[in-house]
Structures are given as structure tokens and as C-alpha cells.
Structure 1
Amino acid sequence: MDALILIGSLVVLLALGFPVAFAVGLSAFIGAWWIDLPLEAIVIQLTNGINKFSLLTIPFFILAGAIMAEGGIARRMVNFAYIFVGFIRGGLSLVNIVASTFFGAISGSSLADTASIGSVMIPQMEAQGYPRDFAAAVTASGSVQAVLTPPSHNSVIYSLATGGTVTISAMFMAGIFPGLMLGLCLVIMCIGFARKRNYPKGEMIPFRRAVKIFFDAFWGLFTIVIILGGILSGIFTAAESAAIACIWAFFVTMFIYREFRWRDLHLLLFRTIKTVTIVMVLIAFAAAFGSVMTFMQLPQIITDFFLSISENKYIILMCINIMLLIVGCLMDMAPLILILTPVLLPVTTSLGIDPVHFGMIMLVNLGIGLITPPVGTVLFVASAVSQQKMEAVVKAMLPFYCVLFIVLLIITYVPIISLWLPAVTGVYNGNG
């Protein structure tokens, strides 16, 4: 009954149209009142939830990504990607995906990736004879890479949701191979489509022009070096690398590329502060919600439920995947990570599944939810940027969903893809 009151109140509040953060917070207070938990204890959990140094990683990475997204970096990433794949048949669709790989490793956001790369690539693809809905589908599916690869904001949120069991550095390293594998699978599928539909080839970029494009894109690409190189070398922590990346992004955008106007800087900062505020309020309320779940012993109840279905971890992982795919279609990614991680992590650890590996499974599932109706935020952005109806974009997305499901199964049942790089780089030794 306790769990029904807590979860039921959350569902009702969401159905009534409450913002997700406030729905989570109010349901936490309702649950605490139901079990006679002092409300002062919930307030303490609210403050404890955001009183963490590692949380500084989020605003810095969000600001760095926002600055680079506004400063012409997307166009330069597209030009740089064209060097490698633009000359292949269907090259513009491949350029779209490869550019998303580079840009996602700078912004850490699928939304920013879709909006920035889409605004550059979708008109170009349409001009070369690609259907506009197909271009939107390529853009949206390629942006899922940003959920996995560093500096993914959602990797940071998962690390926080584990209560320190998994470090941000471990999640960053774990996401590199899954993200690249996702991009490679999408590239292979687009090559198949290009041959079947006879999409056009591009031209080979002359060497001298390629060198010029590289040096033009280098300043933006160096952000990736700062983030990964600083963490792996031990020079920076994840939070410190985020701060340095923010300073570098500002320097490159305002003094090297100089495509962003100083008079618009305060508007960018305002948008960033608004986004960060929403995230922080959500994290605070989710911490309170999680504490109420703990008092209700909900994680243990969920663990017992899954173990009653089967003791085979592969079957349970399949059940968890199905559940995450469903809820990922109904709610945004960050609140689901904060709410479900404390519930599902005990289930998976009891079966011997590594917490970092489970983090990748969760991110892929919920990343698919970002491009799936009815609440797929990235899908809405792709539809808006492409000026196509949602139904047309979803129809074009169907083969991409198949590829994403295959990638999900591989990542779920081949844990070494997620765990090898963190172990080799020494940022994670396994099992927390």
C-alpha cells in the first residue's frame, strides 16, 4: 500500500500536468506523510541531494556545450566529418552521423546535437535529394550517441544516482565504445539505404582544403582532448575538466571563431541558468523521493519481485529492458535515471551485474526513449528543425529503431564493450 501511495501520487500529479520536478517532490511529501515520516527529514534530504561538489560538473558542461553550439562549431564539425565519409554514396547521411559523434563529444546533449547538426545538415541533405523526413530520422538517431559518450550529462546524473558507487570518470570511459558502436551501426544501415535508393555521392576533399578544414575545426575538437585527456592523465577531476572546458569553449567561440555576438551572451547565460536550475531542482526532489522509497523498502520489494520471475540474470535483464523502454517513452530521461537507479541497481547487483555496465544499459534504453513518441523530446526537436509532421518522422525512424534495439541487445549481453576501457585506463576496477 505504501508503494502504491507513493507511485500512484506521482502518476496522478504527472497526469494532471504538473512539471516533472514538482510532481516528484510533492509525491515524496505525500509518501512521507503517509508513513508518518517527519517532513523535516524530507527537507534535509532536499538539501543533501544538491550539496555535492561533483554536481558542479553539470552546469559547467551545460554551459560549455551551449557556448560551442552557438559559436559555429556545428558547421565546422560537419565540414570535418565530410573529409572522412562525404565521398561515399549516401555520404551526407554519413556526415550527419559522424558530425553528431564529434559534436556530441563536445556538447554532451542529444537535444543540442539534434538542433545544431540538424539545422546545418537537414537543408543540405534535402538539397541533394534526400527525403526531409529521412534526414530528420538520421539526425535524431545519431544524436543518441551524445547520451553515451563523454561529457554526457546523463552519465553524470547516473553517477550521482548511484550514491557514489560509480564515478563520473568510469561512466565517461564506459560510454566511448558503446557510443562509437552505435554510430558505426547507423553508418552501415545508411550505406545500405544509399545503395538501395541510389542516394548521391559527394566529392573527395582535396588534401590542401582538408588540412584547412582540420585546422578550422581543431579548436573545437580540442575540447574533447581537454575533457578526456585531463581526466585520464589525472590532471583534472571530472568537475575541474568541465570548468576548464567551459573556459576553453568561451575563448574559442568569442576570440577565435567570433561568430557569436557579445550582446547575446547574457541571453545564452540566462538560458543556461534556467536549464541548470531545472536540473538542480529535479535532483533535489529526486533525492527526497529516493529517501522515501528507501524508508518504504521499495528497492527490496522490487528486487524480490524480479527474482520471483526468474533467477536467470539474462531473463531479468530482458524484463528490465522492456520496462525501461516503456517508461522511457512516457517520461524524460533525467528524472527516470534519478528515480529508477536506486530501485533497479540493487536488483542488478544482486545478480552480479556490474553497476557501470547497468548504467550503460539504462542510458541506451532511455536514449531510445528520447526519440520515441509520445514524450520523445529529441523527436520533437527533429520534427521542428526539419519542419516535418511527427508522424512522418516516426515512420522514417522505424528502421533506425531496429538498429538501436540491436545495439541495445549487444550492450546488454556483452558487458566487456562497456567495461574494458574503464578497466584499461584504470578509472574503474569493477563492481564499484
Structure 2
Amino acid sequence: MSDHRMNQTTTPSLAVPPASLAASRLQRIEQILSRVLSCFMVCLLAAMSLLIIYSVITRYFFQSPSSLSEELLRFSLIWLGLIGAALCFNGTRHLSLPILFDRAGATTQRWMMQFNNLLVIAFGVILLAGGWLAMEKNGQMLTPMLKVSVGMLHGAVVLCGAFMIIHRGLFALRELGCSRRTLLESLVCALSLAVILFAISQFATTSLWESLVYDHLEATSLLILFSTFFLFLAMNTPIAIGLALSGLFTLALQIAPGDLLAVVGEKMFSGLDSFGFLALPFFILAGNIMNQGGIARRLLDLALLLGKRIPGNLWQSNIIANMLFGSLSGSAIAASTAIGGIVAPMAKEKGYDMAFTTAVNASSAPTGMLIPPTGVFIMYSLITGGSASIAALFLAGYLPGIMMGLAVMIVAGIWARRHNYPVDKSPWVWQEISQVLIRALPSLSLVVVIIGGIIGGVFTATEGAGVAVAWSLMLGLVYRTLSMKKLVKVLAESAITSAVILFLIACSGLMSWSMTFANIPDTIGELLISVSDNKFVILLLITLTLLVVGVFMDMTPAMLIFTPILYPVVTELGMSPVQFGVVLTYNLAIGIVTPPVGTVLFVSCSITGEKVTRVIRPLLPIFAMQLVGLLLITWFPFFTLWLPGLFGL
């Protein structure tokens, strides 16, 4: 033993370089911090789930609604969103647009990373300072039920900023320890930002600047808002940070920097202070629990039964199963993964064209974003201030969602007939049918309970989300597919996913506020009307714009950015807020299947092993048929408003 120790101490080749040792220690610190925050997030979401279930029970079984639990849930949601968002800066969970980044060389990518790192740290400093000012301002104010200082609750903004600085700061220190070149790049980036800010401050003192701000405020605000935002997108900056900073730059035209800083903390906090937003994390959690519960297999068995006699029956069953599972999970990616993962081996074994199989799976998965219950409509309703009720949106989504799925089924049927795919003509067996229905009914009954409860006014969308969590947990226990280890993992993943969306909502609030402040929606509306005064032409232009946006941007940020811009325009044209919500969702749902940002397409290709280039060709006729449906729901309100009208909504 003594010889071994002596060899360890005297062998110079085993010595750890100081830089590597320091980087290792910094990484260890970051890992510990991330684990602590992750545990906090898991515990918080678990407590919130129990609390919403308790609220539903006390209200409907004991007729004693709890205002205390409602207040606890609201403030817990804010902490979940802000602390979880800070945790996500430890990795790459925040959404960005890496089109240019992926095509850039290694050197350019390093410069972009350094630039974005400085931006995140800078925004963290803004949150830290703004949150502190908000704490001081609201320190003496108490909440109605908890009697807790509102200023103390604003501490979530301070902690968010602090953790962002720590995470990105530790990352920068690790990078700086790697080489002198990295240190030089960081210094150059910091110096460049300082020079740019100094140049802007000097330009702001000129007569030209005063003329732009005072005489052409709307046009100048429009230019600054979108030029800075698209610059951030091009630099692969996290979309949430780009939204917030471009909004702050625009607001700085009219508000002094000191006053603006004091408002940031309150706006980030109040941007999430809505009981309605609670439906988002709970529906996400319910969907993730279902993904673990073996529900996909049961729904696919039902779909195989329903699509049995239709040409291309395996493709048809895939589409039907995606429509069923997508509506339950609320996620196109989950549907394409769960259902596609089961169908792909079956299709390969039966000799189906795998490129077309991939196209069918990818293009039918987004139907669940339209067929309720879906969190997308909840988010849209809250963005528009409740002008479109969630119950009406849920009913309005049924026909368009089915139309999107039918478009894929029609093309699949034509393709199957043209290539002589056999049809399953085996006789129906009642015993088999009954077994399949019995296995699928517990899962399908969730839709009946949730939608029936919300439309019937039995409970709100948020309470319905709580019921969905309880129901999915019960199914997991009944099916014996949800262990404690899986549940903790599901809670962690759901908390992170929710935090990314909530932070986007909070940051988009700054951008929306800046747009309203500068009358940008009115300016854009005037521009569109100047092109044509024909309602159908303007709606076609809006549809084409959204289709292009969907190609390059994920659904959540696109909805948060373009709803406040286009909503006043379409309502001025006489379009119902409910109809526009469905049209917007349909447009962006197509976008998540189109490259270069088509996440659902890439997931489907990874499942089957097909190249994207081979899948594009069979996707084209499907897209053409889906676009026909899109134009129908855009130009004819019947397809979206008939069902809500039937139920008096």
C-alpha cells in the first residue's frame, strides 16, 4: 500500500493541470446547484398537483372553494416559471433558432456562443436589479389570504436573475480556463457590446434621433423592435431573451432607463400572475404521465380496428391513433414518438413504403394540437385577454383537427390504391372488438370528462387540468406502468418544459407591452389595409405570413409574438377571436412538420431511419390537401363556429 502511494505522488504524468482542475470544480459546483434547483422544481410541481386536486375536491364535493389554495397556486406558478427558467440556462433547453448557427463554422459558432452568453448575463443583471427594486417597492404590501409580503414573492425575479448570472458565469469561467483564445474572444465580445451601447447613447443625443422618436415614433419603434429581434434570432440567442431585450430597447425610446429598470421586475412577475396559466403545467404533466402509461398501445389497437377496412389500413390506423393520442397528450412530438415507434416496425415488416410511412406519421401528429384538450388554445385565450373562451376554442378545434387528419387519410388512401396495397378483409370478431374497447375506454373517458366538464361549466380549464393529472395518475396505477422513479422523472421533465414556456410568456409580455405602447399593431394593420381592402386577400396574406413563420419558428414563440400583432387586424376585419385562434393554430401546426425547424418531422425520421430528403416528396401532396382545409376554415367561419354555436358558446 505504501509503495502504491509513493508511486502516485512521484509520477509527474498523473498530475492534473490546474486549469482542468479548476474547470472540474466549477462544473461540480454547477451540477450541485442544478440538482438543488431540480429537487425544488420537482417538489414544487408535486405540491401544486396535490393542491389543485385538493381544490377541485373541496369545491365540488364539499361546496367549500379554497381561496387560500388558489393564491398559493398562483404564486407557486410564478416561482416555477422563473426558477425553472434559470435552471434551464444550465443547458440548452431554451428555444432558439439555430439555422445560421448550424451552418456556421466552428470559429463563428464560438463567437455566437460568447455573444449570447454575455446577453444572458446582461439580462440576468437586469432581472436582478429590477427584481430588487420591485421587492423594495412592494415590501409593505401583503397578499389577501396568505398575508405574505408581495415584495418577498418578487424575490423569484431576483433569484431568477441571480441563477442566470451564476449558471452563465460558471460556464464562462470554464470556457476561459480552456485557452487564451477563448479569453480573448470573450474580451472582444464584451468590448464590442460596450462600444455599440456607447455609440447608441451618443446617437440618442442628436437632432436626428429626436426627430425619429418624436415625429416618427411608430415607424421607428417598429424598425427597432423587429430589427433587433431578428438580429438576436440570427445570432441563435434564446428566443425568450431576444423577445425581452428587443421589447426593452423599444420601450427605451419613451421611458428613461432608470424608470424602465424599475418596471421590468414587476412586469416579469405580473406577466405570470394568472390563475389561467396553471392549466399549462398541469396538462403538460398529465400528458407526460400518459406517455409512460402504455396508453399509446391501447389507442393504436383501437385505431387498427377502426382503420381495418380502409386502403392503406396501417397508415390509416397511424393517423387515427395520432389524433386520439395527440389530443390526450397535447404534444405532437409525443404522438409521433409513441405511435410512430410502434407502427414503424409493423410497416417495415409488411413492406410498406417507409418514406411515406414517415410522412404520414409526421403530418398527422399535429392534429392533437387542434383536437382538445390542448394547452395551445388555453395559451391563446390568455394572450387575447379571454376574448375567446377556452370552452369555445375547444369545441371550435374539433372539425379543423379532424379535417387536418382526414387530409392525410385521403392522400394515404389514394397512395395505397395507386400502389395496390392490400386491404384487411378479415371478419370482425366481437370478442376482439370488445376487448379492444374495454382496454381503450379508460383513456378515452378522460377526454369526455375534461371536455364535458369545461363545456358544461362544471369546472374551469385549470381545474380540468387538475382532474387530468389525477385521472392520468390513476390510470398509471391501474395499468401498473408508473413507478415512483418514473413519476419523479416525469415531474422533473414536466417542470422544465413548463418553465421554458412560462418564461417565454413572461418575456413576450415585455415585447407585447412595448408594441402596445408604440401602437405597432395599428401601424401593421394600416400597412396590410394599404395593400388591399378585400377581406379575403388580407386573410390570405396573413395565412401565407403565418405559414412562412411556422417554417422557421416553433409554435409557442410564434403564437406569443404574432397574436398581439395580428389579432387587432383580423378582429377589425370582422373575424371572430375563436376562429382566428383555430386558424393561427392550424397554420403553426403545419409549420412544426416543415424543415428546417420541423421538430416533428425530424423525430419521425429518426424513428424510421429515413432521410428527410426522401420524406419531403410524399409530404407535398399531404401539405397541399391540408392547405385546402386551412383556406376553408380561414374563409368560411362555419367550420370553426358551428360547434360552439350549437352549444351556445
Q: Do these two structures clear the TM 0.5 threshold for a shared fold by scoring above it?
A: yes
Shift of 1:34: 3.4
After TM superposition, list the pairs within 5 Å mapping 1:196-211 onto structure 2: 196-202=418-424, 203-211=426-434
Residue identity matched to 1:321: T
Pairing 1:236–2:463 present: no
Larger RCO (alpha carbons 8 Å, 6+ apart): 1
Using the TM superposition, name which of 394-403 and 314-323 deviates more.
Answer: 394-403
After TM superposition, list the pairs within 5 Å mapping 1:110-189 onto structure 2: 110-189=332-411
The structure number with the bigger radius of gyration is 2
Which of 538, 542, 566 in structure 2 is aligned with 1:320? Answer: 542
Match of 2:266?
A: 44
Shift of 1:204: 4.3
Shift of 1:20: 1.4
Pairing 1:6–2:211 present: no
Pairing 1:391–2:613 present: yes
Which of 611, 632, 644 in structure 2 is aligned with 1:410? Answer: 632
Shift of 1:194: 0.9
Match of 1:223?
A: 446
**Quick check: 1:140–1:382 contact (8 Å CA) kept in 2?**
yes
**Quick check: 1:126–1:135 contact (8 Å CA) kept in 2?**
no
Q: How many Å separate the matches in 2 of 1:264 and 1:245?
A: 18
Shift of 1:241: 0.9
Match of 2:75?
A: none
Residue identity matched to 1:24: L
After TM superposition, list the pairs within 5 Å mapping 1:259-274 onto structure 2: 259-274=481-496
Q: How many Å separate the matches in 2 of 1:276 and 1:141?
A: 25
Match of 1:250?
A: 473
Deviations for 1:212-232, whole angstroms, at most 9, x for unmatched residues?
A: 011011111111112111112
Which of 397, 418, 421 in structure 1 is aligned with 2:643? Answer: 421
Deviations for 1:115-156, whole angstroms, at most 9, x for unmatched residues?
A: 111111122112111122211111111112111111122111
Q: How many Å separate the matches in 2 of 1:42 and 1:149?
A: 36
Deviations for 1:243-279, whole angstroms, at most 9, x for unmatched residues?
A: 10111001101x2211233322211111111100001
Q: How many Å separate the matches in 1 of 2:438 and 2:586?
A: 33
Shift of 1:185: 2.5
Q: How many Å separate the matches in 2 of 1:411 and 1:51?
A: 33
Match of 2:558?
A: 336
**Quick check: 2:243–2:507 contact (8 Å CA) kept in 1?**
yes
Using the TM superposition, name which of 391-400 and 310-319 deviates more.
Answer: 391-400
Which of 14, 21, 30 in structure 1 is aligned with 2:249? Answer: 30
Q: How many Å separate the matches in 2 of 1:204 and 1:234?
A: 43
Pairing 1:57–2:279 present: yes
Match of 2:330?
A: 108
**Quick check: 2:312–2:413 contact (8 Å CA) kept in 1?**
yes
Residue identity matched to 1:345: Y
Deviations for 1:352-391, whole angstroms, at most 9, x for unmatched residues?
A: 1111111111111111111011111211211222222222
Deviations for 1:285-310, whole angstroms, at most 9, x for unmatched residues?
A: 01111000111110000110111111
Match of 2:239?
A: 20
Gaps of 5+ in 2: 1-219
Which segments of structure 1 move beyond 3 Å, counting only runs of 4 or more? none
Q: CA RMSD in A?
A: 1.3
Residue identity matched to 2:585: L
After TM superposition, list the pairs within 5 Å mapping 1:276-315 onto structure 2: 276-315=498-537
Q: How many Å separate the matches in 1 of 2:253 and 2:235?
A: 21
Using the TM superposition, name which of 275-284 and 144-153 deviates more.
Answer: 144-153
Using the TM superposition, name which of 27-36 and 235-244 deviates more.
Answer: 27-36
Residue identity matched to 2:300: V
Residue identity matched to 2:461: A
**Quick check: 2:407–2:622 contact (8 Å CA) kept in 1?**
no
Shift of 1:102: 1.0
**Quick check: 2:268–2:507 contact (8 Å CA) kept in 1?**
yes
Gaps of 5+ in 1: none
**Quick check: 2:285–2:491 contact (8 Å CA) kept in 1?**
yes
Q: How many Å separate the matches in 1 of 2:585 and 2:541?
A: 16
| TM-score (structure 2 length as normaliser) | 0.64
Question: In percent, how many aligned pairs have the same letter?
Answer: 38
| TM-score (structure 1 length as normaliser) | 0.96
- SS at 1:17 equivalent: coil
Q: How many Å separate the matches in 1 of 2:430 and 2:352?
A: 27
Q: How many Å separate the matches in 1 of 2:376 and 2:306?
A: 29
Shift of 1:78: 0.6
**Quick check: 1:87–1:204 contact (8 Å CA) kept in 2?**
no
